[in-house]
Structure 1
Amino acid sequence: MIVCSRRYSLVTHIKKRSALVAFALLVVSCSSEPPKSLVTPLTPVTKQPLPSQPEQQHQPVRGVWLATVSRLDWPPVLSVNLSNAENRVKQQQNALTQKLDKLKSLGINTVFFQVKPDGTALWTSRILPWSDMLTGKIGEDPGYDPLQFMLDEAHKRGMKVHAWFNPYRVSVNTKPSTVTELNRTLTLHPASVFVLHRDWIRTASDRFVLDPGIPEARDWITSIVAEVVARYPVDGVQFDDYFYAETPGSTLNDSQTYKRYGQGFASKADWRRHNTQTLIEQVSHTIKQLNPNVEFGVSPAGVWRNLSHDPAGSDTRGAAAYDEAYADTRRWVQQGLLDYIAPQLYWPFSRQAARYDVLAKWWAEVVKPTNTRLYIGIALYKVGEPSKNEPDWTIKGGVPELKNQIDLNESVPQINGTILFRENYLNQPQTQDAVHYLKNRWGS
Structure 2
Amino acid sequence: MPRPPARLILILATVLLGVAVLGLGLLRAATYEEPDPAPIAGQEAVPAAGAPGRCGTVPVRATRELRGMWLTTVMNIDWPSRPGLPKEQVQAEYLRWLDLAVAQHHNAIFVHVRPSGDAFWPSAYAPWSEWLTGKRDGRSPGWDPMEFMVAEAHARNLEFHAWFNPYRGSQPAPAGPGADFAKLAPNHPLLKHRDWAISYPDGKTARLYFDPGNPAARRFVEDAMLEAVGKYDVDGVHFDDFFYPYPEGGGNEFRDGASFAKRADKSLGRADWRRQNVDTLVREMSERIRELKPWVKFGISPFGIWRNKATDPAGSDSNGLESYDAIYADTRRWVRERWLDYIVPQLYWAIGFDKADYAKVLPWWSALVKGTGVQLYIGQGDYRVGEKGPWKQPDQIERQLALNDRYGVQGSVHFSAKQIREDRLGAVTRYRTKHYATPALVPTMRRLPLRPPEAPRATAARRTDGKVAVEWQARGGTEPVSWALYRVDGAAANLVATGRAGKQDAVDPAPPAGAATYCLSGLDRSGNESAISDPVSVSP
Please state which band the TM-score falls in when normalised by the shorter chain.
0.7 to 0.9
CA distance in 2, matches of 1:361, 1:266: 32
SS at match of 1:377: strand
Stretches of structure 1 that go unaligned for 5 or more consecutive residues are: 5-48, 83-87
Deviation (angstroms), 1:175: 5.3
SS at match of 2:410: strand
Residue of structure 2 in register with 1:192 after alignment? 188
1:223 aligns with 2:223: yes
Residue of structure 1 in register with 2:111 after alignment? 113
Deviation (angstroms), 1:265: 3.1
1:424 aligns with 2:425: no
Determine if contact 2:347/2:381 at 8 Å carries over to the other structure.
Answer: yes
Deviation (angstroms), 1:194: 2.1
Residue of structure 2 in register with 1:248 after alignment? 249
**Deviation per CA, 1:171-195, whole angstroms, max 9, x where unpaired?**
11155972698646675xxx11220
Residue of structure 1 in register with 2:475 after alignment? none
Residue of structure 1 in register with 2:318 after alignment? 316
Residue of structure 1 in register with 2:432 after alignment? 439
CA 1:443–1:122 in structure 2 vs 1: closer, same or farther (change >3 Å)? farther
CA 1:136–1:404 in structure 2 vs 1: closer, same or farther (change >3 Å)? same
Alignment of 1:15-414 (within 5 A): 55=48, 59-77=64-82, 80-81=83-84, 88-138=86-136, 139-174=138-173, 178=177, 183=182, 187=186, 191-205=187-201, 206-245=206-245, 246-249=247-250, 250-386=252-388, 391-395=389-393, 398-399=394-395, 401-413=396-408
CA 1:120–1:335 in structure 2 vs 1: closer, same or farther (change >3 Å)? same
CA 1:237–1:62 in structure 2 vs 1: closer, same or farther (change >3 Å)? same
SS at match of 2:402: helix
Deviation (angstroms), 1:433: 0.4
Deviation (angstroms), 1:147: 1.6
**Greater fraction helix:** 1
SS at match of 2:125: coil
CA distance in 1, matches of 2:304, 2:84: 38
Deviation (angstroms), 1:72: 0.5
CA distance in 2, matches of 1:174, 1:3: 18
Deviation (angstroms), 1:378: 1.1
CA 1:186–1:208 in structure 2 vs 1: closer, same or farther (change >3 Å)? closer
SS at match of 2:411: strand
SS at match of 2:161: strand
Determine if contact 1:303/1:321 at 8 Å carries over to the other structure.
Answer: yes
CA distance in 1, matches of 2:334, 2:185: 37
Determine if contact 2:169/2:208 at 8 Å carries over to the other structure.
Answer: yes
**Deviation per CA, 1:268-309, whole angstroms, max 9, x where unpaired?**
100100000111111110000001110001111000000111
SS at match of 2:266: coil
Determine if contact 1:182/1:192 at 8 Å carries over to the other structure.
Answer: no
Determine if contact 1:225/1:283 at 8 Å carries over to the other structure.
Answer: no
Stretches of structure 2 that go unaligned for 5 or more consecutive residues are: 5-41, 51-62, 439-540
**Deviation per CA, 1:199-219, whole angstroms, max 9, x where unpaired?**
111112421111111111110
CA distance in 2, matches of 1:192, 1:352: 44
CA distance in 2, matches of 1:265, 1:383: 47
**Deviation per CA, 1:10-69, whole angstroms, max 9, x where unpaired?**
xxxxxxxxxxxxxxxxxxxxxxxxxxxxxxxxxxxxxxx99x988378931111111101
**Deviation per CA, 1:214-245, whole angstroms, max 9, x where unpaired?**
11111011101211111111000011101111
Identity percentage of aligned residues: 38
**Deviation per CA, 1:126-178, whole angstroms, max 9, x where unpaired?**
21111111111131212222222111111111111110001111111155972
CA distance in 1, matches of 2:304, 2:126: 30
SS at match of 1:352: coil
2:72 counterpart letter in structure 1: A
Deviation (angstroms), 1:373: 0.5
Residue of structure 1 in register with 2:523 after alignment? none
